[in-house]
Structure 1
Amino acid sequence: MVLVVVGLVVVLGLLGTVHWYVWRRLVRDLTAPGGAARRIGTGLAVLLPLLSVGALVSGRAGAPFVLEQALAWPGFLWLALLLYVTLALLATEPLRPLLRRLLARRAGTPAEVPTEVPAGAPAAELPVTVPASGTEPAPVPEAPAEPAGAPEPAGMSRRLFVNRVVSGSAAALAVGTVGYGTYGVLRGPRVKRVTVPLAKLPRAAHGYRIAVVSDIHLGPILGRAHTQRIVDTINATQPDLVAVVGDLVDGSVADLGPAAEPLAGLRSRDGAFFVTGNHEYFSGADAWVDHVRELGLRPLRNARVEIGAGFDLAGVDDVAGEREGQGPDFGKALGDRDRARTAVLLAHQPIVIDDAVRHGVDLQLSGHTHGGQLWPGNLVAELANPTVAGLERYGDTQLYVSRGAGAWGPPVRVGAPSDITVVELASRQA
């Protein structure tokens, strides 16, 4: 409990520091004290983080779904904007003194002015020098006027001019990045194709195509239209089998059941299969398993089926289910099978790859990581997952990790585009 409290204090302190820094660079440094712009900017600096906290906790707190939807767009988008505007501002910090020196050199004046005379204030008296003889002090000659064509705008200090250029550019870059990343999510995932050679796969199964989709994350932002885009994209690939590898939803069946209904339109020769992800256990896993079964998907809860083409398809519950006594059971799913047959395993999280290797799995299909979703999130994801995205080999087992078809939290992806992967199995006997 003490560690949780300490961690919460650290996180809140970090968020407070980041927000203060962004407020300083985008509000305090660019606006006049007491002005309307300063008041509006300060108000937003207080309101936006509150909306973000509301978006994060409203679902778990049991808030009405309409309130979740109202908080989600501004709250989650601000988190993405905060990340990229902070990175952009930090990256441009070295430019500020350099630009001030450059402008000062072109203008022929000192780079820094210690004080600024407010507009309309009386001119200060000229500094004087006192001769050693004690005679009347003589005024110091006025400094020469700035040359015509100096880059500094009239009525604006050099520091303010540089701050507006640099901070404005950083903000524009952040907005553009988040805007493009949002468009990528709302447009829907693109199809990725991967061929996986399997030593024990029979010739009859050569070219067998599995459409792998994970991390759809239906919720207060991504709804029925998002599901329909995914179903249409999968059906267009004409797969032999569809594998929905967890994290379908962020919410209850009561709120999101209608959003999932287009899944009933999935078409493939050998059907569609489903395994739970960690977010199902935040949303009522048993209810969702029953609901996807009603929609025509076959849940594999620590179970295995023989596919007619000549391989075994197994699925295990997500490790998050262990808190409810429903975690992965590899012995139940794979323990009594014929190891001479190829085994393909559906498991939401890549971290169970060691169990898959021990049980002789030939190919594990996973999601969970989102490929990092928001760069540099991939660096964090690499610390917690053996593979963040793509195909890698672990002993005699290959692991393929999809980046997912949706987004959690901010409906934004940067450096990790969403995908639906068509995995084509290849027989070395063909």
Structure 2
Amino acid sequence: MVIVFVLVALLVLAVLVTANWYVWRRLFRDTTRGPGWMRRAGGVLVAGGWALAVGALVAERTGAPFWLQQTLAWPGFLWLALSIYLLLALVAGEVVRPLLRRLLERRARTETAVREPEPEPVPVGAPPATPDTPPAAEGPSSPLTLPSRRLFVSRVVGGAAAVAAAGTVGYGTYGVLSGPKVKRVTVPLARLPRAAHGYRIAVVSDIHLGPVLGRGFAQKVVDTINSTQPDLVAVVGDLVDGSVKDLGPAAAPLAQLKAPAYFVTGNHEYFSGAGQWVEEVRRLGLIPLENARRELPYFDLAGVNDVSGESEGQGPDFAKALGDRDKARACVLLAHQPVQIHDAVDHGVDLQLSGHTHGGQLWPGHLLAAAANPTVVGLERYGDTQLYVTRGAGAWGPPTRVGAPSDITVIELASRQA
């Protein structure tokens, strides 16, 4: 097992080194002449950016001093996102590169043909040309030589890739920092009574308060939830990336939620001290559902711990949360990860609300998310159980989303008897 882990780690390291060498080559070596300072600066930038990214990840997971986490997080995580889109843009540029070269070569041949007129006929009896005859005046400047063409193409492709990557990351970061948008989904439940038709649940997940997203971001999330005037708020995990000591003030705006709010743990709570956070959200007025159920007037609301809690003996217990309930009543389950849907089906849940996937967060991350989750985003049916997965309100790692905008979803329950 150890040998397999080492081989996989070496493979991942080799891929990362190769990818970064490629980025350095296309952005700096191929766009400059000679081993000048630009190439050295490019090497320092690429290596330094990854050193900051690794440092930010390690500092967060090891509980380093919070000021150090904040210092490393912004440049490190943004470089992580930027490097992804630099690589993708440069790979896409490989398609453009030969086309641009051919265009320049065709233009060069055309210009050469224009500059070389047909030779004028020599009159009969005219003296032959001698070496002292002055040469004809040169025409327009000569077209780009082959080395110059290659340099020009490399600069155009490299510059365009850098602009595209920076623009993509900048726009994706602006989207996260601006706060999540509201998404509305209607979900019919067969066992929901007519009196509950139109009942609204605001679903928020993956806020990821931490060294990047702090109290101001939490306030935006709370204000957005309150503006929808829900009947109930469901916070389905990954609220924080850090300890209560460091992030307690950042989470304080949750006390301003106007509707009854319920909370279940996500995998990141177990990296951050799940027990302490359960007590903290309870202090803020939220109701933790730790493998527990509440019988609300119109339906049962249940919650299970995240599967990451199994390592601490606090994993999900569906039997405890759902085993003795009245099956005639509709049941809504809060469970952080979509993979928990199969247990929900076995226990006759009507609707499971989840997060975790971030919708992929950074395109094409949705492909990886799809490989690990039955549903990446949206509403799907599994037997008699429906699963809704929100993209989440915040972001983990880079405070950036591309192709997966953040959201707070307002689920409007519909009774089939209405």
| TM-score, length basis structure 1 | 0.89
What is the distance in 2 between the residues matched to 1:145 and 1:321? 83
Tell me, yes or no, if the aligned pair for 1:304 and 1:314 is still in contact at 8 Å: yes
Tell me, yes or no, if the aligned pair for 2:63 and 2:242 is still in contact at 8 Å: no
- Counterpart position of 2:188: 197
SS at match of 2:61: coil
Which of 283, 290, 299 aligns to 2:288? It is 299
Shift of 1:356: 0.3
Shift of 1:11: 1.3
> Within the alignment, does 1:280 sit opposite 2:281 as a pair?
no
Tell me, yes or no, if the aligned pair for 1:106 and 1:150 is still in contact at 8 Å: no
- Counterpart position of 1:124: none
Which of 380, 391, 394 aligns to 2:382? It is 394
> Within the alignment, does 1:381 sit opposite 2:381 as a pair?
no
- Counterpart position of 2:246: 255
SS at match of 2:60: coil
- Counterpart position of 1:69: 70
Q: Which amino acid aligns with 2:342?
A: D
Change (3 A) 1:267 1:145: farther
RMSD value, Cα: 2.0
After the TM superposition, which residues 353-392 of structure 1 pair with which residues of structure 2 at under 5 Å, given as runs?
353-392=341-380
Change (3 A) 1:150 1:199: farther
Q: Which amino acid aligns with 2:140?
A: A
SS at match of 1:251: coil
- Counterpart position of 1:137: none
Shift of 1:146: 9.3
SS at match of 1:157: helix
Q: Which amino acid aligns with 1:318?
A: D
Which of 135, 140, 144 aligns to 1:148? It is 140
Change (3 A) 1:220 1:418: same
> Within the alignment, does 1:290 sit opposite 2:297 as a pair?
no
- Counterpart position of 2:45: 44
After the TM superposition, which residues 76-225 of structure 1 pair with which residues of structure 2 at under 5 Å, given as runs?
76-108=77-109, 148=140, 152=144, 157-225=148-216
How big is each residue's C-alpha offset from its partner over 1:368-415, in whole Å with a ceiling of 9 and x where there is no partner?
A: 000000110001111110100000000000000000000011111011
Shift of 1:145: 10
How big is each residue's C-alpha offset from its partner over 1:214-234, in whole Å with a ceiling of 9 and x where there is no partner?
A: 000001100000000000000
- Counterpart position of 2:410: 422
Tell me, yes or no, if the aligned pair for 1:195 and 1:423 is still in contact at 8 Å: yes
Tell me, yes or no, if the aligned pair for 1:189 and 1:417 is still in contact at 8 Å: yes
Q: Which amino acid aligns with 1:407?
A: A
- Counterpart position of 2:309: 321
What is the distance in 2 between the residues matched to 1:147 and 1:187? 57
Alignment coverage as a number of residue pairs: 395
How big is each residue's C-alpha offset from its partner over 1:173-223, in whole Å with a ceiling of 9 and x where there is no partner?
A: 111111100000000000000000001000111100000000000011000
% identical aligned pairs: 72
What is the distance in 2 between the residues matched to 1:233 and 1:338? 34
Which of 342, 358, 376 aligns to 2:330? It is 342
Q: Which amino acid aligns with 1:181?
A: G
Q: Flag structure 1 segments of 5+ consecutive residues without an equivalent.
A: 111-143
Tell me, yes or no, if the aligned pair for 1:215 and 1:406 is still in contact at 8 Å: yes
What is the distance in 2 between the residues matched to 1:354 and 1:69? 39
Shift of 1:147: 6.4
Q: Which amino acid aligns with 2:154?
A: N
What is the distance in 1 between the residues matched to 2:138 and 2:337? 65
- Counterpart position of 1:130: none
Change (3 A) 1:361 1:11: same
What is the distance in 2 between the residues matched to 1:102 and 1:230? 51
Tell me, yes or no, if the aligned pair for 1:107 and 1:146 is still in contact at 8 Å: no
Change (3 A) 1:100 1:339: same
Q: Decide which structure has greater helix share.
A: 2
- Counterpart position of 1:20: 21
Q: Which amino acid aligns with 2:296?
A: I
Change (3 A) 1:333 1:101: same
Q: Which amino acid aligns with 2:91?
A: L
What is the distance in 1 between the residues matched to 2:255 and 2:34? 59
